[in-house]
């Protein structure tokens, strides 16, 4: 037997999970079933693609049983890929992803939200210590002879010793604590599996003992051992749309999206023709917490003819749509499509291109038909869509219709199209201001002249605006102009204004001399009405904030 200590981050995390999420402790079952399902996916894939595994008699399933006395336990067993000693140490002793700290920072104190983070973050296994004070994992890796037994109390240590297991797979036994005692029940397990894991594509069986009754309904004193399937185990996305209800979709989303909230939107598409595929995409109500982290988890899973291929491929959909959760299932890809060449795969490229169009189109109709929901959507996803403006040139026009901005004349968000509608007859451009937070921008002296003339200015306080918006150039033939650039206010000038500027020239020369190298130029301008002066960027220079950003990046 060997004894190991958890990596410090695991200990911290365990402590945190146990103490902050106990009000949603029931998710432990969802997480363990989801791990069992992943393990089945992995072995299924190997049996279909790798000759070394073809001989395995593979009957993928998950078995759950429980015991009420003497001590209460729950056992979850799968015949999936299993783990060897090394896997056990690495997978159940450390946290693979970099961001424990990020996870901890994300914890909001709202147990419901935090409970979702667990699964999204890839630390689901540890949730079992909320309901158990002792956990045993008996596992044998497919293709290997030796089985191993991992044991831990979830505090600081775990042990690994040799074990006995007839077939490859994993059996996890939870020795329930007082918090978890209630789950050693047929009814509870049945409820939880139906609630969270109904659409796991493998059968989940529950075993239980039942008293036997005779014809007259009298107990015979005998006990019958029963085993029944408790999930629907169908690939939901393959079912005809007209057979599915909103609730079916929502439930499916919750089981694959590690989310207890309903999705904001789902988009189910079946393509038949040159390419045959099914896609089912969901937009989470709240942006995934790791949306802006480099090691974010992609949310779209790739299947080939219902066989799971990968959920770790960031290029299945463009990066800016990384908030999508869901499934792509292709009939045309070979099962053993190399994961390395997925990105260049012609079939997948076509699916991706069509899916992006479809999804953006759905966003557009949401904006048109359901502005309230669209507003929720844009509050969460405006920024990634703006990234798309920068990276997805082919869909730029559509994206320009989808993004929203704050404005000096409107409450909430406005679209560029709506701004254009409101433009004054002789207005030459769409004006915007960037380079600070919303309040600073709204109070900027640069806006005075526009306010004076009743011209609307878009308030672009999103950091990304500064990078993306100058590249837009035009929206439907109307130029976008930054008011913090020298040329911008010229449009607003009257002849009188021009005269005033002319007469101020001698003063400007003096100021320029006094300021020397610190400025590029000093000019008189009619853009201010109350403030005496302001600093602007030259038309071709990066604006002040961008200059700072570039500096920070070492440019
Ligand atoms: P995630 O599932 O997001 O990777 P978890 O904390 O739920 O994170 O699980 C950690 C790892 O432990 C898994 O990635 C997997 O390698 C391993 N694991 C957990 N349960 C099983 C199982 N039933 N069969 C095989 N491996 C498992
Ligand atoms: Mg997991």
- Write the pLDDT tens digit of every residue in 276-322: 999 999 999 999 888 888 888 899 999 988 888 888 888 899 999 99
- Residue 78 is labelled as binding a ligand: yes
Among protein residues, the one with the nearest Cα to ligand 1's atom 12 is 91
Among protein residues, the one with the nearest Cα to ligand 1's atom 20 is 35
If you average pLDDT over each of 325-339, 487-501, 529-543, which comes out highest? 325-339
- In our burial notation (b when 16+ CB lie closer than 10 A, e otherwise), range 395-434 reads bbebbbbbbbbbbbeeeebbbbeebeeeeeeebebbbbbb
pLDDT higher than 80, residue 119: no
Q: What is the pLDDT of residue 343?
A: 74
Looking from the CA of 419 toward its CB, the CA atoms found within 13 Å total 30
Tell if the pTM clears 0.90, that is, is over it.
no
Is the CB of residue 358 less than 8 Å from the CB of residue 267? Answer: yes
What pLDDT, in 10s, does the model give residues 88-112?
Answer: 988 887 665 545 566 666 666 676 6
Q: What is the pLDDT of residue 555?
A: 42
Ligand 1 mean position to 254 CA, how many Å? 19
Output the ligand 1 site: residues, CB below 6 A: 31, 35-36, 38-39, 78, 80-83, 91-92, 122-125, 170
Ligand 1 pocket mutation, candidates 9, 29, 38, 42, criterion most atoms within 8 A of CB: 38
- Overall residue count recorded for the chain in this entry: 555
Instruction: Determine the average pLDDT of the residues in 4-29.
Output: 79
If you average pLDDT over each of 250-264, 337-351, 390-404, 538-552, which comes out highest? 390-404
Among protein residues, the one with the nearest Cα to ligand 1's atom 9 is 125
pLDDT higher than 90, residue 499: no
- Residue 124 is labelled as binding a ligand: yes
pLDDT higher than 60, residue 166: yes
- In our burial notation (b when 16+ CB lie closer than 10 A, e otherwise), range 492-501 reads beeeebeeee
Is the CB of residue 180 less than 8 Å from the CB of residue 66? Answer: no
pLDDT higher than 80, residue 337: no
Assign 540 a pLDDT band (cuts: 50, 70, 90).
Answer: low
Distance CA 116, CA 103 (A): 11
Residue predicted with more confidence, 468 or 204: 204
Assign 15 a pLDDT band (cuts: 50, 70, 90).
Answer: confident
Ligand 1 atom nearest to 31, measured from its CA: 7
What is the number of the ligand closest to the CA of 13? 1
Instruction: Determine the average pLDDT of the residues in 405-433.
Output: 94
Ligand 2 mean position to 128 CA, how many Å? 11
Ligand 1 mean position to 76 CA, how many Å? 13
Residue predicted with more confidence, 428 or 165: 165
What pLDDT, in 10s, does the model give residues 433-444?
Answer: 998 899 999 999
Among protein residues, the one with the nearest Cα to ligand 1's atom 8 is 122
Q: What is the pLDDT of residue 547?
A: 60
Instruction: Determine the average pLDDT of the residues in 171-193.
Output: 96
Place of tokens 């502005």: 371
Q: What is the pLDDT of residue 538?
A: 63
């Amino acid at each position: 037997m060997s004894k190991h200590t958890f990596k410090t981050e695991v200990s911290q995390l365990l402590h945190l999970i146990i103490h902050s999420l106990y009000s949603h402790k029931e998710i432990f079952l969802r997480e363990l079933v989801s791990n069992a399902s992943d393990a089945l996916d992995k072995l299924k894939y190997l049996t279909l693609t790798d000759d070394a595994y073809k001989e395995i008699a593979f009957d993928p399933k998950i078995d759950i049983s429980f015991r009420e006395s003497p001590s209460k336990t729950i056992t979850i067993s799968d015949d999936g890929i299993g783990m060897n000693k090394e896997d056990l140490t690495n997978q159940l002793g450390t946290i693979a992803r970099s961001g424990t700290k990020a996870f901890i920072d994300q914890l909001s104190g709202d147990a419901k939200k935090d409970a979702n983070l667990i699964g999204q973050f890839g630390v689901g296994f540890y949730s079992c210590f909320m309901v158990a004070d002792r956990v045993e994992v008996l596992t044998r890796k497919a293709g290997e002879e030796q089985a191993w037994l991992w044991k831990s109390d979830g505090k600081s240590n775990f042990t690994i010793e040799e074990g006995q297991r007839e077939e490859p797979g994993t059996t996890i036994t939870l020795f329930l604590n007082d918090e978890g005692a209630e789950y050693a029940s047929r009814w509870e397990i049945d409820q939880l599996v139906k609630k969270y894991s109904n659409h796991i594509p493998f059968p989940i069986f529950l075993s239980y003992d039942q008293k036997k009754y005779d014809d007259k309904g009298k107990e015979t004193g005998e006990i019958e051992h029963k085993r029944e399937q408790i999930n629907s185990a169908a690939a939901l996305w393959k079912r005809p749309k007209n057979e599915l209800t909103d609730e079916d979709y929502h439930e499916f989303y919750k089981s694959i999206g590690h989310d207890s909230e309903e999705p904001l939107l789902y988009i189910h598409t079946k393509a038949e023709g040159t390419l045959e595929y099914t896609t089912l995409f969901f937009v989470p109500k709240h942006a995934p917490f790791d949306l802006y982290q480099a090691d974010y988890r992609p949310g779209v899973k790739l299947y080939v003819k219902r066989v799971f291929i990968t959920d770790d491929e960031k290029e299945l959909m463009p990066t800016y749509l990384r908030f999508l959760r869901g499934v792509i299932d292709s009939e045309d890809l070979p099962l053993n499509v190399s994961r390395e060449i997925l990105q260049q795969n012609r079939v997948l490229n076509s699916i991706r291109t069509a899916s992006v169009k479809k999804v953006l189109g759905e966003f557009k109709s949401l904006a048109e038909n359901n502005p309230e929901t669209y507003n929720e959507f844009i509050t969460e996803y405006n920024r990634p869509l703006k990234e798309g403006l920068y990276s997805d040139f082919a869909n730029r026009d559509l994206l320009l219709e989808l993004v929203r901005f704050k404005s000096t004349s409107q409450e909430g968000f406005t679209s560029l199209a709506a701004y254009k509608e409101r433009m004054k007859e002789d207005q030459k451009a769409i004006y915007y201001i960037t380079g600070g937070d919303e309040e600073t921008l709204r109070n900027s002296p640069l806006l005075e002249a526009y306010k004076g003339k009743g011209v609307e200015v878009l308030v672009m306080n999103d950091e990304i605006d500064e990078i993306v918006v100058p590249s837009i150039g035009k929206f439907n033939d109307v130029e976008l102009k930054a008011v913090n650039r020298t040329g911008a206010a010229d449009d607003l000038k009257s002849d009188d204004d021009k005269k005033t500027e002319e007469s101020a020239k001698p003063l400007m020369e003096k100021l320029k001399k006094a300021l020397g190298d610190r400025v590029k130029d000093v000019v008189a301008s009619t853009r201010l009405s109350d403030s005496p002066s302001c600093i602007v960027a030259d038309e071709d220079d990066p604006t002040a904030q961008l200059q700072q950003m570039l500096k920070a990046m070492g440019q």
